[in-house]
Structure 1
Amino acid sequence: MQMKRQAEIRWREEKYRVMFHSQKHYNAIRVAMREQQPYETIAVMIDDAIAQTPTSGSMRNAIQHMWGYFKKHVTSEQKAHYDELMTNEQYDDVCCYLRQLANDYNITYLQNSTILQEERH
């Protein structure tokens, strides 16, 4: 049971980072989690996903998923800033901005996400 819990925690922390790098790997890991694959299997799959070079599409998709946590709370100015960063495909800057918003709005799930803990500048 402990290994299952360990896999759940790791997946929760790495989910958006995996999605940022590869939607294909994200989908495969979701299936592996549903099938309750061993922690070691999940860990290898996560590490492999993170080793993938992100595409513009995978980065945009992950960021849009994270943005969903804020869209009902942000001001029009914050939304405009997000839209500008996304239009210019400044994905590292968007991640930094989302980290700031996660802290401002105390979104614990995103605060614990490794994708927003990475230094991007």
Structure 2
Amino acid sequence: MKERGYIERLWREEKYRVLAHSKQHYDEIRELLKQDPSYATVKDKIDEALTITPTTGSTINAFDHMWGYFKNKATANEKEQYLTLKRQFQNKQIDASLIQQFLKNMAEEYEVQYLINSTALYK
């Protein structure tokens, strides 16, 4: 595999985790990928993003992006469950790991390989 392939795989795996930490870094990396960056440059930018403590808002943003894979497939019960978990997380009643587990279960149930390969759910 050429370096560009490794870079694209790295980004596929890390993008939602980066988004949960820093929307700014997420946007910067997306712009960087339009050029011809080295693997090391992209990896360094990802590592830099991951040093930023996620906020409730940035975490919800990443979860909502992942939920987008299911919103047209999910049952009414699954949609309600997601919204309830999200509301509880926003109100600091539950930890993010419960939404993570829910999305992980959804990814497996609906066989969404893109999310199954994501470090946001599987790390």
- TM above 0.5, yes or no, is yes
Alignment match, 2:102:
97
> 1:30 Cα shift?
0.5
Count of paired positions:
118
> 1:3 Cα shift?
1.3
Deviations 1:50-89 (A, max 9, x none): 1210011110111001000001111111111101100011
- State yes or no: 1:87 paired with 2:81: no
Higher fraction of helix: 1
- State yes or no: 1:11 paired with 2:11: yes
Structure 1 residues not aligned, in runs of 5+: none
Distance 2:99 2:112 in 1: 16
Structure 2 residue matching 1:117: 3-state secondary structure: coil
Structure 2 residue matching 1:110: 3-state secondary structure: helix
> How do residues 29-108 of structure 1 correspond to structure 2 at under 5 angstroms?
29-89=29-89, 90=94, 91-108=96-113
> 1:92 Cα shift?
1.9
TM-score of the two chains, using structure 2 as the length reference: 0.92
- State yes or no: 1:114 paired with 2:109: no
Residue identity opposite 2:113 in structure 1: T
Structure 1 runs, 4 residues or longer, greater than 6 Å off: none
Structure 2 residues not aligned, in runs of 5+: none
Structure 2 residue matching 1:114: 3-state secondary structure: coil
CA RMSD of aligned residues (A): 1.1
